[in-house]
Amino acid sequence: MAQETGLRAFRGRMVFELRPPVAANKGTAFRALVEEFALEASVFLGDDTTDVDAMLAARELREAGACHAVAVAVVAPETPEAVLAAADVLVHDVSDVAACLAWVLEARKASFT
């Protein structure tokens, strides 16, 4: 059905994404948000192959000095290897996500003192 309508299908762990035939993905969306809002820092959280583009974009933005971007992978037994490889930080559940974000907030506060 995707091919009949000109869409491209991408498979994740528990999701199928249908994308238009343009160069757009979570990575291009992440970059656009960073640029549109002139973000100095950002965090991307993901757990599936469809998140890898944004994780790689975070790394590229950071390495280019454009944004202090960090990619966080939420790890589960079925987490794809590509996600683990693209992430800068690994967390293991929702409570770890909350702890990670709390740490980022505290680090930000400390940088202003």
Taking the CA atoms of the chain, what radius of gyration do you get in angstroms? 16
Which two structure tokens, joined as six digits, stand for 28?
């291009």
What CATH code is carried by the domain that includes residue 80? 3.40.50
pTM: predicted TM-score of the whole model, two decimal places: 0.82
Beta carbons within 8 Å of 27's beta carbon, 6+ residues apart: 53, 54, 55, 56, 57
Number of domains into which the chain is organized: 1
Residue 57: Cβ within 10 Å count: 25
Q: Which of 75, 78, 80, 110 is nearest to 93 (CA)?
A: 75
Which two structure tokens, joined as six digits, stand for 41?
């820092």
Domain span holding position 103 = 2-111
Q: What is the pLDDT along the chain (113 residues), one digit of tens a residue?
A: 777 787 778 777 777 777 777 888 999 999 999 999 999 999 999 999 989 999 999 999 999 999 999 999 999 888 999 999 999 999 998 889 999 999 888 988 887 76
